[in-house]
Amino acid sequence: MQTLTRHTNFVLFAAFATYVYRDVWSFATFTEFPVDDVSPLLWAKIGILTFTGVLIPLFVPRKYVPVDPEVSGSEAFGVHAPKKFHLASHGSSQS
DSSP assignment of 60-85:
SPPPP--SSTTTS-S---TTTS--HH
State the chain's maximal CA–CA distance in angstroms: 61
Amino acid symbol at 1:
M
pLDDT tens digit sequence for 44-69: 999 999 999 998 888 877 776 666 66
CA 56 to chain centre: 6
d(CA 61, CA 41): 31
pLDDT single digits (tens) 9-56: 899 999 999 999 988 888 888 888 888 888 899 899 999 999 999 988
Query: Has this prediction a pTM greater than 0.95?
Result: no
How far is the C-alpha of 20 from the C-alpha of 27, rounded, in Å?
10
Please report the DSSP string for 4-41 in residue order.
HHHHHHHHHHHHHHHHIIIIIHHHT-SS---SS---HH
